[in-house]
Amino acid sequence: YDQNGDTLAKETVNFFCLSFGPWLGIHELQLFPGANLGTGPQLLTLELFSGFGDTLVCAWDLMVDLCPPDSCVYAQLTFSDWHDQLVQDGVYWFLEDPLGGTVGSGVFQMDGVNRNAEDSVCIAPGTDYYLWVSPFTQVNVFDSINLAVSSNGGITSLINYHQNDSFPSDMFFDWYGDCADGTNAILEVEQPSFQAWQHGAWLFIQQEQIGQFQELRLLDGQGQAVRSLPMSGERSVVNVEGLAPGVYIVQALARSGAFAARKVVVR
């Protein structure tokens, strides 16, 4: 409820826990239809009852902004030691926007037991974010330290940026919102100007018009080029032996910058 005592949301739960970070303990509390959310930061109170809902167990005062001025997308920051010799104590991190303003800071706590520390920050989509960490003490100079920024709470393999070195350097990265075309985005083309088919270990590409395209690329599901070769004549051949079975994108490019694409299944 808010400072006026008006209840904004209420529900019955059969499970409750406390956890670190927004990913493992997150729970959405649905607001009542028509509830007045107000504008700007405000102090709300969250209460937890037990039994039959008549025993107050604990309460929290929460300073929240239910109507933030700018939309943001959560980024998960990860600091990992991939060897047995752990970085000791806390490693402080700082995140700055392109204008040099601090938009987030925190600490990766390495306690001698956990080899992985995580934190999170909600930042607006934009370019040239700057992430850096304070100096830290290593037990073993040959340790492999991984510093990463990921989306979707790290529950997928969509790691946007990462470094893996004994001493990670400052990291610049761009941050995209939902449904944004990133650097590996592939535009859909409704009418590709070539045909593609596989026979054995070879993928055959045939242009509808000779000389229409000059370069051929084969991209995996992450948008990374696994094959690249010039196109000449009516038909080009790509060796797909050794590639993992799955869906790939064949991309044909012209000198003008135009391109056509087609999905193929490599077996």
Per the CB < 8 A criterion, the answer to whether 118 and 78 are in contact is yes
- Asked whether residue 183 is assigned to any structural domain, the reply reads no
Query: Which helix (DSSP H) or strand (DSSP E) does residue 219 occupy?
Result: strand 215-219
Per the CB < 8 A criterion, the answer to whether 260 and 194 are in contact is yes
Which structural domain range is residue 106 located in? 73-175
Q: What is the pLDDT of residue 141?
A: 57
Report the chain's C-alpha Rg in angstroms. 26
Report mean pLDDT in 10-residue bins for the chain, 267 residues: 83 64 59 74 83 81 68 81 65 86 85 75 84 70 70 44 53 72 48 76 83 85 87 85 90 76 86
Residues 171, 245 within the same domain: no
Q: What is the pLDDT of residue 152?
A: 58
Please give the C-alpha separations between residue 126 and each of 42, 97, 98, 213, 267, in angstroms, as whole numbers: 27, 9, 9, 34, 39
Residues 78, 149 within the same domain: yes
Residues 247, 198 within the same domain: yes
Q: How many domains does the chain have?
A: 3
Q: What is the CATH number of the domain that holds 199?
A: 2.60.40.1220
Nearest Cα to Cα of residue 198 among 232, 253, 239: 239
- Asked whether residue 30 is assigned to any structural domain, the reply reads yes
- Tabulate helix, strand, coil % of the chain (nearest 5): 0, 45, 50
Cα 196 to Cα 218: distance, rounded to the nearest angstrom: 11
Could you tell me where the DSSP H helices lie in 5-133?
none
Q: What is the pLDDT of residue 161?
A: 44
206 forms beta bridges with 195, 235
Cα 174 to Cα 160: distance, rounded to the nearest angstrom: 9
Last residue of a domain, one of 13, 48, 68: 68
Q: What is the pLDDT of residue 66?
A: 65
- Determine phi and psi for 154, rounding to 5 degrees: 75, 10
Cα 219 to Cα 250: distance, rounded to the nearest angstrom: 6
- Asked whether residue 188 is assigned to any structural domain, the reply reads no
Residues 123, 47 within the same domain: no
Residue 212 CA, chain-centre distance (Å), reads: 37
- Determine phi and psi for 220, rounding to 5 degrees: -85, -175
- Asked whether residue 186 is assigned to any structural domain, the reply reads no
Residues 120, 168 within the same domain: yes
Please give the C-alpha separations between residue 243 and each of 66, 201, 220, 227, 251, in angstroms, as whole numbers: 48, 9, 9, 10, 17
Last residue of a domain, one of 175, 209, 235: 175
Q: What is the pTM of this model?
A: 0.40
Q: What is the pLDDT of residue 169?
A: 57
Q: What is the pLDDT of residue 240?
A: 92
Per the CB < 8 A criterion, the answer to whether 250 and 218 are in contact is yes
Helix (H, G, I), strand (E, B) or coil at 66: coil
- Asked whether residue 17 is assigned to any structural domain, the reply reads yes
Please provide the distance, in angstroms rounded to a whole number, between the alpha carbons at the two ends of the chain.
58
Last residue of a domain, one of 68, 85, 104: 68
Residues 104, 149 within the same domain: yes
- Asked whether residue 256 is assigned to any structural domain, the reply reads yes
Helix (H, G, I), strand (E, B) or coil at 153: helix
